[in-house]
């Protein structure tokens, strides 16, 4: 191996190691939500659930009316 090839391999290895370290360090912090984010997500989920219950009730009522006839 010439000196240029050795330097290229060394740079490539250092780059790969750096990328792996960055990925490992960042993956731990990005998956955890803050308390504010959890509260906001729960509020949105509550509103979605509430609207779904209204929708289900309305469609059930319409099916009941349809089959009464």
Q: What pLDDT, in 10s, does the model give residues 2-37?
A: 566 667 778 888 889 888 888 877 766 666 778 898
Q: Between residues 41 and 26, which one has the greater pLDDT?
A: 41
Tell me phi and psi for residue 2, to 5 degrees.
-85, 170
Counts for the chain of helices (H) and strands (E), in that order: 2, 0
- pTM listed for this prediction: 0.50
Contact 30, 22 (CB under 8 A): no
pLDDT at 44 over 90: yes
How would residue 52 be classed by pLDDT, with cut points 50, 70 and 90? very high
């Amino acid at each position: 191996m010439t000196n240029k090839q050795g330097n290229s391999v060394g740079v490539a290895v250092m780059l790969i190691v750096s990328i792996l370290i960055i990925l490992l360090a960042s993956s731990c912090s990005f998956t955890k939500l803050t308390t504010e984010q959890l509260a906001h997500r729960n509020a949105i989920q509550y509103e979605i659930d509430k609207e779904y219950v209204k929708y289900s009730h309305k469609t059930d009522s319409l099916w009941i009316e349809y089959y009464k006839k």
